[in-house]
């Protein structure tokens, strides 16, 4: 017990230096957690993808639409259980900067393939019955203060004009990573208006969502679907939902990789800060270590004092960083909600940060311990300052 008290007193000798070191470690640990969480949020769509869902899009680009007539052919492929679709609408509410996902979907049938969207059955009946009905995510409703029954007007960019909707339901996410920031409405509403205003754009959908009976057959079914439309004006590319989501992550691959590298560099910065502090401490206490050796203290005692002080400072900084990390991540998640609908905090972030803190404390003490144990009694007592 006395040893721990001595370690604490040693650490508090230079309070300002110790405080700044602890603060630097705490900031670095928070930065590490934030960067790791942003990377996890970028990959959230990949991790939550269902293994039995395929996505079929235009082979040219996701921005090109596909004819609704493809649905019947896709349904005939062996292994296909159900087919639905989505169409990116590209509308905004009042301010184009307030981005959120809005899709035209084929009524309640869309939710059959997305069981992670929890909606009451009576809401789905109303959704099918009313052409301008909309179902929105709970997160989106909270963000704009919308409630069931509210009339909402979106300004279309891909489908120009003013589009009026009535919110008839709010879906909850089954899982923490479920995207609850979507605005879903009936595709018929868009299609009928296109028939009147732009007939060439009618009968077109954005992509197909396909549920298969066995995820192991995904490759074979994907090839058969694409083969149906080879050498046609609307060739397709079919892939698993995870691969489809990964393609969006790949577009920002350099950014994601950079964040991963920076998160590792942060640990290196912590090590340098702690090592500098301990090196200064060891240099100042050379004569004290010599006195301890004169009194009969062995190398193990000196190693314990130096390493214990280093680990104590690192753990204090790491502990403060871990405590402050939670409100920091919650605040950043709320601020980035429109870009990262799912901002999951990876449970492994905490043990990783804790282990990194302890490792830094130990590694930072290696050189000071070596120097303290190597000094001779005569040289240590001769040294002043």
86-143 confidence digits (pLDDT tens)? 999 989 998 888 888 899 999 999 999 999 999 999 999 999 999 999 999 998 998 8
CA quadruple 355, 356, 358, 362: dihedral sign: positive
Range in 203-217, 222-236, 254-268, 343-357 with the lowest mean pLDDT? 254-268
pLDDT-derived band at 274 (thresholds 50, 70, 90) equals: confident
290 against 185, higher pLDDT: 185
What average pLDDT is seen over the chain? 82
**pLDDT reading at 189 higher than 70:** yes
Q: Residue 48 has what DSSP assignment?
A: T
Contact 70, 234 (CB under 8 A): yes
Which residue has 């007007």 as its token pair?
Answer: 153
What 8-state DSSP symbol labels residue 201?
G
pLDDT for the residue 48: 67
Neighbours of 380 (CB within 10 A): 19
pLDDT higher than 60, residue 195: yes
pLDDT score of 339: 60
- Looking at residue 351, its pLDDT comes to 85
What is the per-residue pLDDT for 379? 59
pLDDT of residue 308: 77
**Mean pLDDT of the 235-258 span:** 72
Q: What's the rounded Cα separation, in Å, for the pair 111 and 129?
A: 15
Q: For position 248, what pLDDT does the model report?
A: 56
Residue 62, pLDDT above cutoff 80: yes
251 pLDDT higher than 60: no
**Residue 367 predicted with pLDDT over 60:** yes
- pLDDT class for 364, splitting at 50, 70, 90? confident
Q: Is residue 183 within 8 Å of 98, Cβ to Cβ?
A: no
Output the pLDDT for position 256.
61
Q: Is the dihedral of CA 83, 88, 91, 95 positive or negative?
A: positive
Give the span between the Cα atoms of 49 and 84, in whole angstroms. Answer: 16
Quick one: pLDDT at residue 384?
53
Let me know: does 342 contact 47? Beta carbons within 8 Å.
no
| Cβ-based neighbour number of residue 93 at 10 Å | 17
Q: What is the DSSP letter of 98?
A: S
Cβ contact 192:203 at 8 Å: no
Domain ranges of the chain: 2-44+253-382, 60-234
pLDDT tens for each residue of 289-332: 666 667 666 666 677 777 777 888 888 888 888 888 888 877 77
Q: How many whole angstroms separate alpha carbon 330 and alpha carbon 332?
A: 6
Better-scored residue on pLDDT, 136 or 39: 136
Using DSSP bridges, classify how beta strands 91-92 and 151-156 pair: parallel, antiparallel or unpaired.
antiparallel
- State which H helix or E strand residue 22 sits in: helix 15-42
Cα 274 to Cα 315: distance, rounded to the nearest angstrom: 11
- pTM score: 0.68
pLDDT category at 217 given cuts 50, 70, 90 is very high
Q: Is the pLDDT of residue 342 over 60?
A: yes
Please state whether beta strands 161-173 and 133-137 pair in parallel, antiparallel, or not at all (unpaired). parallel
Please, what sign has the CA dihedral across residues 195, 200, 206, 211?
positive
β-pairing verdict for 53-58 and 236-240 = antiparallel
pLDDT at 337 over 80: no
Decide if pLDDT at 268 tops 90.
no
Angle at 269 between CA 375 and CA 281, to 5 degrees: 25
């Amino acid at each position: 017990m006395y040893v721990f008290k001595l370690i604490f007193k040693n650490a508090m000798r230079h309070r300002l230096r110790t405080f700044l070191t602890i603060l630097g470690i705490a900031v670095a640990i928070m930065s590490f957690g934030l960067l790791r969480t942003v990377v996890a949020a970028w990959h959230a769509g990949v991790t939550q993808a269902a293994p039995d869902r395929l996505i079929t899009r235009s082979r040219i680009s996701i921005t090109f639409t596909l004819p609704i007539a493809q649905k019947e052919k896709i349904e005939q492929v062996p292994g296909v259980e159900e087919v639905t679709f989505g169409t990116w609408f590209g509308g905004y509410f009042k301010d184009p900067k307030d981005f959120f996902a809005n899709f035209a979907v084929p009524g309640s049938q869309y939710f059959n393939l997305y069981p992670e969207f929890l909606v009451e059955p009576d809401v789905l009946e109303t959704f099918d019955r009313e052409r301008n009905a909309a179902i929105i995510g709970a997160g989106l409703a909270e963000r704009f203060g919308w409630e069931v029954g509210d009339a909402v007007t979106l300004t279309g960019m891909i489908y120009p004009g003013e589009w009026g909707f009535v919110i008839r339901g709010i879906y909850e996410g089954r899982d923490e990573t479920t995207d609850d920031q979507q605005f879903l409405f009936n595709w018929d509403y868009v299609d009928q208006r296109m028939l009147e205003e732009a007939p060439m754009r009618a009968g077109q959908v954005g992509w197909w969502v396909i549920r298969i009976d066995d995820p192991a057959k995904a490759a074979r079914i994907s090839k058969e679907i694409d083969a149906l439309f080879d050498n046609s004006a609307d060739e397709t590319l079919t892939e698993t939902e995870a691969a489809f989501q990964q393609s969006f992550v790949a577009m920002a691959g350099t950014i994601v990789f950079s964040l991963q590298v920076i998160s590792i560099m942060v640990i290196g910065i912590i090590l340098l800060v702690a090592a500098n502090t301990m090196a200064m401490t060891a240099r100042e206490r050379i004569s004290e270590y010599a006195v301890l050796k004169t009194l009969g203290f062995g190398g193990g005692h000196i190693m314990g004092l130096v390493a214990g002080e280093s680990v104590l400072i690192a753990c204090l900084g790491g502990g403060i960083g871990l405590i402050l990390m939670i409100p920091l991540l919650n605040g950043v998640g709320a601020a980035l909600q429109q870009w990262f609908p799912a901002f999951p905090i990876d449970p492994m972030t905490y043990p990783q940060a804790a282990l990194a803190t302890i490792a830094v404390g130990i590694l930072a003490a290696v050189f000071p311990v070596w120097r303290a144990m190597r000094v001779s009694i005569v040289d240590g007592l001769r040294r002043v300052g």
